Structure formats: structure tokens, C-alpha cells
């Protein structure tokens, strides 16, 4: 059975506290959703604001293959705004629990049904596709819920949806509820929230109960604890539920996950399934050895399936097989004795609580192999001017291939100014600083600062570290060390 996907990242996802997307960001996300095969895109809530309507209009003007919807209450004013945005349809949300009907709307159940029917009639009279979503359906009386749905279908609703608005379903109760609602003449959808961390499990159970459409958000963002995670749900359907399928191009899932994370500023926890940075990372020696021999030993899916790559992490839990694999990736071939010595040195470093980066690995390997690299760039002098009413300014004197260079730069702060002073030097061009992380190693105002950065030149990414009592010196040293590494490679 083919399962349809309605993605509500641009509506329910944007209701994540602190998230507000620009029209361009919404368009980029909608474009990617359309490209990867999502059937229905809830582009926003037209009633919200003029800017929201402009964003929805921009999306509806693109001629996407996906059906574009707007959230709407069962009110003429909401529906009129949806019509103004040229959407294909509406996600018509109608409260169905006694709590919402009596305490929120202060109306009777019969009045609620009349309100729903009138809204469906108005939508259909104006050519809109209608998906009627029962808000708080999981806390509604099932007989009344069926009555609301039956009336809506009789008035022309094209699809119906069960909303677990506060995330109180369990997989068992989700299966039971959908089994009682799967006999209608139109498709039924599942919209879950993650308040108890069960949104994906409840959605999968709903499919077994008869649902044929799922509501999701990219990375599971949304109000409170979020919504059903698009990537987790789609990949679970693909790999764990052979009786179901979707039209989603799952090898592009990681791309859209990163796009949404960048656009919203809601970054992904490292251990998140499918798209977290550690999802396909291995440090344990037993795991690394098994994965090298056969990836299925410790991976339920291959990283390539979802547009990822496998990583072997350098740390105290690693074994020699994973380490040897990483050394080969760095172009270093070692014998068994050298490999064991490098492994022991890394574990000694990690036991002290230090994060072992590729730079540390390179230095340790160089020491064991007695390799001495001559750095092309050396820092001779660094001067910083900064104050309350002074734009931070840095001057640097460096030696590049035995040629002395003096340069200056300004920035938002002294570190930014120092890095900018270096960036304009030819040796530093086409190198991007993609990650910058600072840790205080000791306590007090004289604490040693540990700066870890990542630099990229074309498809090559390296890590570098600088440790100083002065954060500016530590940052510059780390930056120069990383550039030396890229130039050497």
C-alpha cells in the first residue's frame, strides 16, 4: 500500500518556539519537499499575517507537482484568505473533544457539526480540496468523531485526519483508534505530536490500523516536543514495514534535513536517528571491526540509503581495525607495531578527557612514524586593537614560503578581525571556516582556552586545534594549523 505524505514543516514546524522563516526560506524548503516526492505541502496558515500570505502565494505560483494547502479554521474569513493565496486545498481543523468544544469554543456539539459542515460546503463551493482534521481527536468520543467525519464526507470532504494534538496516544491505542475509523469512503490521515516521544511509533501503528496518509515535519520540529519526524517515519516505512511504501526519494533526506536545520536555527541532536551526526558513526572497536567486515553487523541501514557517509570516530573505545581504516583515509600506511603504538597514544590522550581530532591523530601518527612536516605558513606577530568605541582591528605578520607578509583586517570582534586579516592573504583563499568551537580547559579568568575548528577546501575537510590562555591567539593558531594541513595535503 502506498502511503501519502503531508508535510507541515512550513506551518506546524514553524510554530516551534523561536522559529520564523522568511519567504525565501519557505520557498527553498517547499521546492525541496516537492523535489523529493512529498504529495501534500501545508505551506502555512493564510490567516496569520500579510507576510505569511505573501509566502504562500510565492509557493503556489511555482507550479509544483505537490498539492499546496493552507491551515484554516472552519470560518469564512480564514477560507477567504486561503482562496486569496491560490492554494489547492485547505487543512480544515475542527475541534472534536468536549474539552475543546465546550471550554475553548463555548458551543454545543451540534453547533460544532453545523460549523464544520458549513465550512466544508463553502470550501467545496469555491473549488478547494478539503482535508478535515479533527483537533484533539485522540481525546474525543469515538462515536461523535465518526459523526463529524461522516457529515464532512457527505458535504464533500476529500480526506479526513485524526490529530493526536497533545501526544497522548500509545502505539496500542493508536492502532485501536484507527481500526475503528478505517471504514470511511475517503483516505484517513494521522497527525501526531511527540509529547511522550511516541509520535513516530504512533504514526506507524496508525498505518497498521488503516491510515493511508501521514503528517510530518522535517527533523520532527514543532510546538512543544515537536511532531512526527519525517525522516524517521519515512525510512521506517521503507525498511521496517514491507507492506507499505512512499514516493519519497530517501537518498535526499539528509539534504532536506540540513536545509531545514540551517533555515530554522533548530539544530539536530548528534544522536538523532537517521540524520544525527552520530547516526552512522562508530568508535567502539568491536563495532568498527564488524562494520568494516560487513556493515550489516552494526547498521540496520546503509548511510548511503539516506544520503549519508559512515564515520569512524577516534577515541578511547576504538579498536585497531577502525583506526587503521581512518589512517588509510588520511593516506597513512602503518605496520602492526606502529598501529598499536598510535592506538595506545590516542587512548592515553582520550583518558585525560580530551577530544581526539584528526589533527591530534595526524600529530600522533607523525611522531610514531617520525615524520616531520615543514609548515608553509608561520605566525610571527599578532596585534589586536579593540574597545568600547573602537572597531576591532587586527594586524598580522606571517611568513608564507619564506616570504614575509604584513596584513590587517577588521571584524565584529577581535577573533573575527584576526581571521579576516588572514583570509585576504592568497594562501588562505578558497578555504572556508565551517565550524568553530571554544572550550575552557581550566577554571578562572586565566583559564586555558581550547579552540577547535573545521576548515574546508573543495571536498577536503580538516580539523585543527589551538590551546592558549588567550582566545585570540588560540583561534589564530588553530586556523593557521588547519590551513597548513590543507596546503600540505
Q: Mean pLDDT over residues 426-448, rounded?
A: 75
pLDDT over threshold 60, residue 442: no
The rounded distance, in Å, linking the Cα atoms of 383 and 418 is 9
Quick check: 236 and 248 in contact, CB under 8 A?
no
The predicted structure's pLDDT at residue 448 = 64
What CA–CA distance (Å, rounded) separates 463 from 423?
Answer: 17
C-alpha to C-alpha distance for 369 and 375, rounded to whole angstroms: 18
* Residue 366 confidence (pLDDT): 74
pLDDT of residue 128: 98
Cell of 418: 584576526
Residue 295: which pLDDT band, with cuts at 50, 70 and 90? low
Q: Which of 117-121, 177-181, 443-447 has the lowest mean pLDDT?
A: 443-447
Q: What is the pLDDT of residue 359?
A: 65
For the chain, the three-class secondary structure string (H helix, E strand, C coil) is: CECEEEECCCCCHHHCCCCCCCHHHHHHHHHHHHHCCCCEEEEEECCCCHHHHHHHHHHHCCCCCCEEEEEECCCHHHHHHHHHCCCCEEEEEEECCHHHHHHHHCCCHHHHHHHHHHHHHHHHHCCCEEEEEEECHHHCCHHHHHHHHHHHHHCCCCEEEEEECCCCCCHHHHHHHHHCCCCCCCCEEEEEECCCCCHHHHHHHHHHHCCCEEEEEHHHCCCCCCECEHHHHHHHHHHHCCCCECCCCHHHHHHHHHHHHHHHCCCCCCCCCCCCCCCCEECCHHHHHHHHHCHHHCCCCCHHHHCCCCEECCCCCCCHHHHHHHHHHCCCCCCHHHHHHHHHHHHHHHHCCCCCCHHHHHHHHHHHHCCCCCCCEEEEEEEEEEECCEEEEEEEEEEECCEEEEEEEECCCHHHHHHHHHHCCHHHCCCEEEEEEEEECCCCCCCCEEEEEEEEECCEEEEEEEEECCHHHHHHHHHHHHHHHHHHC
pLDDT higher than threshold 70 for residue 258: yes
pLDDT number for residue 280: 78
Whole-number Å distance between alpha carbons of 445 and 208: 59
Q: How many Cβ atoms are within 10 Å of 357's Cβ, its own excluded?
A: 17
In angstroms, the Cα distances linking 228 to 152, 196, 278 are 25, 11, 21
CATH class of 377-488: alpha beta
Does residue 131 surpass a pLDDT of 80?
Answer: yes
Phi/psi at 95 (nearest 5 deg)? Answer: -65, 140
Give the separation between CA 133 and CA 171, rounded to whole angstroms: 20
Work out the average pLDDT over 213-238. Answer: 97
Please report the pLDDT score of residue 207 as a whole number.
98
- Average pLDDT (426-449) is 75
CATH numeric code, 4-264 = 3.20.20.70
Per-residue pLDDT of 87-112, as tens digits, reads 999 999 999 999 999 999 999 999 99
Q: Which three cell numbers stand for residue 225?
A: 516536543
- Which grid cell is 249? 526519494
Instruction: Give percent of the chain above pLDDT 90.
Output: 60
Residue 373 pLDDT = 67
Q: Point out the least confidently predicted range of 242-251, 280-289, 359-368.
A: 280-289
pLDDT at 292: 59
15-60: per-residue pLDDT in tens?
A: 999 999 999 999 999 999 999 999 999 999 999 999 999 999 999 9
Give the residue with greater pLDDT, 483 vs 356.
Answer: 483
The pTM of this model reads 0.71
Check pLDDT > 60 for residue 289.
no
What is the reported pLDDT for 308?
84
Percent of the chain with pLDDT over 70: 92
Residue of higher predicted confidence among 28 and 469: 28
Task: Please name every residue paired with 464 in a beta bridge, in sequence order, or none if there are none.
Answer: 453
Q: Which pLDDT belongs to residue 80?
A: 98
Mean pLDDT, the chain, whole residue set:
89
Question: Does residue 142 register a pLDDT over 80?
Answer: yes
Give the best-scoring range by mean pLDDT among 161-165, 288-292, 329-333, 422-426: 161-165
| Residue-level pLDDT at 286 | 54
Amino acid at each position: 500500500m502506498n502511503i501519502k505524505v503531508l508535510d507541515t514543516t512550513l506551518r506546524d514546524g514553524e510554530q516551534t518556539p523561536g522559529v520564523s522563516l522568511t519567504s525565501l526560506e519557505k520557498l527553498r524548503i517547499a521546492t525541496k519537499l516537492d523535489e523529493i516526492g512529498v504529495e501534500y505541502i501545508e505551506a502555512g496558515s493564510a490567516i496569520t499575517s500579510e507576510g505569511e500570505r505573501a509566502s504562500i502565494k510565492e509557493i503556489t505560483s511555482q507550479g509544483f507537482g505537490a498539492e499546496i494547502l493552507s491551515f484554516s479554521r472552519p470560518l469564512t474569513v480564514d477560507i477567504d484568505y486561503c482562496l486569496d493565496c491560490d492554494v489547492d486545498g485547505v487543512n480544515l481543523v475542527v475541534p472534536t473533544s468536549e474539552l475543546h468544544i465546550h471550554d475553548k469554543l463555548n458551543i454545543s456539539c451540534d453547533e460544532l457539526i453545523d460549523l464544520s459542515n458549513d465550512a466544508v460546503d463553502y470550501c467545496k463551493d469555491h473549488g478547494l480540496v478539503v482535508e478535515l482534521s479533527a483537533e484533539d481527536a485522540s481525546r474525543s468520543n469515538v462515536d461523535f468523531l465518526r459523526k463529524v467525519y461522516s457529515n464532512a464526507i457527505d458535504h464533500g470532504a476529500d480526506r479526513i485526519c485524526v490529530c493526536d494534538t497533545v501526544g497522548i496516544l500509545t502505539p496500542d491505542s493508536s492502532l485501536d483508534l484507527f481500526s475503528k475509523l478505517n471504514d470511511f469512503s475517503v483516505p484517513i490521515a494521522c497527525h501526531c505530536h511527540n509529547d511522550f516521544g511516541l509520535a513516530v511509533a504512533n504514526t506507524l501503528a496508525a498505518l497498521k490500523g488503516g491510515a493511508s496518509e501521514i503528517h510530518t515535519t522535517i527533523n520532527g520540529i514543532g510546538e512543544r516536543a515537536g511532531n512526527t519526524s519525517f525522516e524517521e517515519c519515512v525510512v521506517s516505512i521503507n525498511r521496517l514495514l514491507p507492506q507499505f511504501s512512499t514516493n519519497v526519494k530517501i537518498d535526499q533526506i539528509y539534504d532536506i534535513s540540513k536545509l531545514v536545520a540551517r533555515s530554522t536555527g533548530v539544530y539536530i541532536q548528534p544522536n538523532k536517528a537517521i540524520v544525527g551526526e552520530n547516526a552512522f558513526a562508530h568508535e567502539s572497536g568491536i563495532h568498527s571491526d564488524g562494520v568494516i567486515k560487513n556493515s550489516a553487523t552494526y547498521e540496520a541501514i546503509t548511510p548511503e540509503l539516506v544520503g549519508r557517509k559512515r564515520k569512524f570516530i577516534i577515541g578511547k573505545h576504538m579498536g585497531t581495525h577502525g583506526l587503521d581504516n581512518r589512517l588509510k583515509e588520511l593516506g597513512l600506511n602503518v605496520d602492526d607495531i606502529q598501529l598499536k603504538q598510535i592506538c595506545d597514544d590516542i587512548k592515553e590522550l582520550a583518558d585525560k578527557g580530551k577530544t581526539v581530532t584528526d589533527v591530534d591523530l595526524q600529530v600522533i601518527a607523525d611522531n610514531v612514524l617520525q615524520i616531520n612536516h615543514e609548515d608553509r605558513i608561520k605566525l610571527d606577530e599578532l596585534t589586536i586593537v579593540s574597545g568600547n568605541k573602537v572597531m576591532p582591528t587586527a594586524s598580522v605578520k606571517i611568513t608564507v614560503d619564506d616570504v614575509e607578509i604584513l596584513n590587517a583586517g577588521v571584524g565584529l570582534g577581535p577573533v573575527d578581525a584576526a581571521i579576516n586579516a588572514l583570509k585576504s592573504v592568497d594562501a588562505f583563499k578558497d578555504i572556508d571556516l565551517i565550524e568553530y568551537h571554544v572550550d575552557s580547559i581550566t577554571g578562572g579568568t586565566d583559564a586555558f582556552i581550547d579552540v577547535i575548528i573545521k576548515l574546508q577546501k573543495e571536498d577536503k575537510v580538516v580539523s585543527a586545534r589551538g590551546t592558549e590562555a588567550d582566545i585570540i591567539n588560540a583561534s589564530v593558531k588553530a586556523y593557521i594549523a588547519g590551513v597548513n594541513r590543507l596546503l600540505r595535503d
